Chains A and B, each alone.
Chain A
Amino acid sequence: MKAQRTSLIAACVVSAVVSGFSRTAVVVSGFSRTAVVVSGFSRTIDDQITRTVWDGVYTASQAERGRASYLQSCVSCHRDDLRGDNTAPSLVGESFTFLWGDMSVGELSARIQKVMPPDRPGGLTPQTYVDIIAFILQKNAFPAGDVELGIDPEALQQIRITTRP
């Protein structure tokens, strides 16, 4: 397992180098654990290949699962168009950017797991939380990719929420 991870790292670094550190190239390379793996490495590499929500960090089918979970656990406060009401903030558009712009998906995830749903904070599975985040990203028109958003907190910390690619 360990060896496998190492070779993945190597492949990743190689691909990043080959691609000239372009974010797109990392995504295209399709390494599901890219960000996880990279997180342990030197700042130089981190800085250069940190991803953003524009890099296809979730899949369409994951967002579909997230949609179902949203309908189970979030919709009565955040509403069917995610624009919120009363105590629940809007999760899309300008509001989302204001609340989460320049922060990481990891920070968003940590916050949601800490306080949501308000009746039973942390009451969903880690997978359900990231699925719901995938759905929120989709509703904010961030592109889907080939690889699911994982549950690893460190990996999520590596994905930044930015208003433009």
Chain B
Amino acid sequence: MRLGLSISIAVVGTSLLLTAQVKDFRPVTEAMLRNPAPGDWLNWRRTDNAWGYSPLDQITRQNAQELQLAWSWSMDDTGAQEAAPLVYDGVMYLPSPRGVIQALDAATGNLIWEYRPGATAATSPSGRGGGGEQTDIPRLSQRPSNAGGDLGRGIQKTIAIFGDKIFGTTNDAHIVALNARTGKLVWDTKVADDRLGYEYTAGPIVVRGKVIAGITGCSRYKDDVCFITGHDAETGKELWRTSTIARPGEPGGDTWGDLPLTFRAGGDAWITGSYDAATNLVYWGTAQAKPWARAVRGTDGAALYTNSTLALDPDTGKMKWFYQHLPGESHDMDEVFENVLVDIGGRKSLFKMGKLGILWQLDRETGAFIRATDIGYQTLVDVDPHSGKVTYRPGKVPQLGAEIDWCPSTAGFKSWRAMAYSPQTNAMYLPLSLSCEKATFGPTEKRVGGGGTGPVRRRDYKHPAAEGNLGEFQALDIRSGKTLWRHRTPSPLNTAALATAGGVVFAGDWDRHVYAYDAATGKILWQTRLPTSAQGFPVTYLARGKQYVAVPAGIGGGSWSTLLTPELAPEIRRPNGGNSLLVFALPGESSSRSTSTR
């Protein structure tokens, strides 16, 4: 009797687990992606223009001081975590390291479903392809969560939603589509051979039924180049592929001198793009050429289409225009980051900031240069204010074996931690890391499998203007180009910025702080400490009518900035783990209740 009872309970429990799904799910339409409901966070930066701005205003500069923890959730500690959650209709879709995606009730954190990629067999070494001289070490597939696995990467920054599917990219160069109701795998498309170094660290966007994603892992010499692809959202079928490197004989191909295709590396498209329905263009950034230094890669040429902003037709991948920010870049100064689309001063503009801390304003219809605003910390280049033409300052182009000294360090003032734009203040909110370095560039092996970024002997140091700090959160007025306010922190700013219509902006630092700032003045309205570094992409949303602010915390191994604190401020410590999500809200009636899953 007793035995029978427990069996029946177990059976009931199992069936509940199996049928857990998002109830009353309404497919996400193209119109919703272009104009998300105020309470939703539907694209990686909420809107397709990458503002990182929410119209929610329950949390205001008056009441932000009352914010308190509503719920929290431990994320997988199997890798670096730089998550950008999505929220749709009260459900949060949370990317975790190594391809894990979970659907949580956004009011309580209750798990609705989770997707855990099955352990795929580690691919054995293969002589074919150009992935380098193979060794006896089996390739570690980065997608599955390996027991005691390597914490270095497994990064899955962003995901996308469209129709009834969630789309993710994997570290072994696949794109996957999950059923948004159940978390079940719908399709899995292998886009490139990870044994050649290809991987994804950033997710796709969906435009007009196409899933568009940019590959990374482009630094080693191989008989292929990096690319951005478009796929059918229903099937995963690849519809187009646009190279981020100009091949010999193609337009722009002569910007690599006479280097054969094999030695044209870089152009990693490692940050998710933006889209403007009015221009019907997808805007995607590319990283610098590899190896980093001109002297190492063997050409002084501009090396198209590296370190550029590309404007692509979402249906064909055809490049409508490109703008190369730093032609022939030579120091690992990425310009790959988010494309923030703002109409201002009568111009349909695209704003972008790279590692140098120069805010570029381009005409997003034509790609024409409009303006460059240097926040004043870099020591490498001068920019012609009329043409945008970049000139390296004397002695700053590295020669093999000769030390040079410049700011920023390779961490960059700005990196993947996306800036946010508030239309209330016309300000761009910049999470910055302030450092400089002395560096000597060395040679690489010029053969298939060789190359890479090239070795660099470097010594980082604190930026002389930073008064001993490594971080800064800055509000920059994009009309005047003037700094509205800045808040310096001993450790680097470590999250994307989040701006809200309540006049409150949020960001966090390596040293576990989260700050709520008055968007207009920079006054700190509220702050708290997290289990480990603030990390990834804070978001805000409505669940059951109440505004929440979700802040990821965690270890991020995939970025230089992460290395700065142990090196330059070793007195600041954090736990070596603790990937998690912390969700804050105001106290009050509609606050989180532990109810069952939707």
B471 at the interface (CB under 8 A from A): no
A122 cross-chain contacts in B, Cβ below 8 A: 566
Closest approach, in angstroms, between the C-beta of A90 and any C-beta of chain B?
A: 6
B444 at the interface (CB under 8 A from A): yes
A121 cross-chain contacts in B, Cβ below 8 A: 563, 566
Q: Which of A73, A85, A96 contacts B150 (CB 8 A)?
A: A73
Inter-chain contact A83/B455, CB cutoff 8 Å: no
B6 cross-chain contacts in A, Cβ below 8 A: none
**Beyond A83-B449, A85-B197, is A72–B135 a contact (Cβ under 8 Å)?**
no
How many A-B contacts are there with CB distance less than 8 Å? 127
A145 at the interface (CB under 8 A from B): no
Inter-chain contact A81/B132, CB cutoff 8 Å: yes
Inter-chain contact B576/A95, CB cutoff 8 Å: no
Binary CB contact string for chain B from 108 to 119 against chain A (1 if under 8 A, 0 otherwise): 000000000000
Inter-chain contact A99/B555, CB cutoff 8 Å: no
Inter-chain contact A89/B453, CB cutoff 8 Å: yes
Inter-chain contact A95/B134, CB cutoff 8 Å: no
Binary CB contact string for chain B from 61 to 85 against chain A (1 if under 8 A, 0 otherwise): 0000000000000000001100000
Inter-chain contact A77/B137, CB cutoff 8 Å: no
Per the CB 8 Å criterion, the residue count for chain B at the interface is 51
Inter-chain contact A80/B453, CB cutoff 8 Å: no
The interface of chain B, by Cβ under 8 A from chain A, is 79-80, 125, 132-135, 137-140, 142, 148-154, 171, 197, 216-217, 219-220, 268, 442-445, 449-450, 452-457, 555-560, 562-563, 566-567, 570, 576-577
Q: Which of B138, B216, B562, B567 contacts A80 (CB 8 A)?
A: B138
A74 cross-chain contacts in B, Cβ below 8 A: 150, 152
Q: Which of B150, B450, B452 contacts A72 (CB 8 A)?
A: B150
A139 cross-chain contacts in B, Cβ below 8 A: 135
Q: Which of B140, B452, B555 contacts A83 (CB 8 A)?
A: B452
A160 at the interface (CB under 8 A from B): no
Inter-chain contact B268/A75, CB cutoff 8 Å: no
Inter-chain contact A76/B153, CB cutoff 8 Å: yes
Give Cα A80 to B454, complex, Å: 17
Give Cα A60 to B140, complex, Å: 22
Inter-chain contact B151/A119, CB cutoff 8 Å: yes
**Beyond A86-B216, A99-B442, is A77–B576 a contact (Cβ under 8 Å)?**
no
A90 cross-chain contacts in B, Cβ below 8 A: 444, 452, 455
* Seed contacts A81-B135, A86-B453, A94-B443; 9 additional CB < 8 Å A-B pairs: A70-B137, A76-B79, A84-B452, A87-B453, A89-B455, A95-B443, A95-B454, A99-B455, A114-B566
Inter-chain contact A81/B133, CB cutoff 8 Å: yes
Find the residue from B138, B152, B443, B556 having the highest chain A CB count within 10 A: B152
12 inter-chain pairs at a CB distance below 8 angstroms, sorted by A residue, are A73-B151, A75-B137, A76-B140, A77-B153, A77-B557, A80-B125, A83-B450, A86-B453, A90-B444, A95-B442, A95-B444, A120-B555
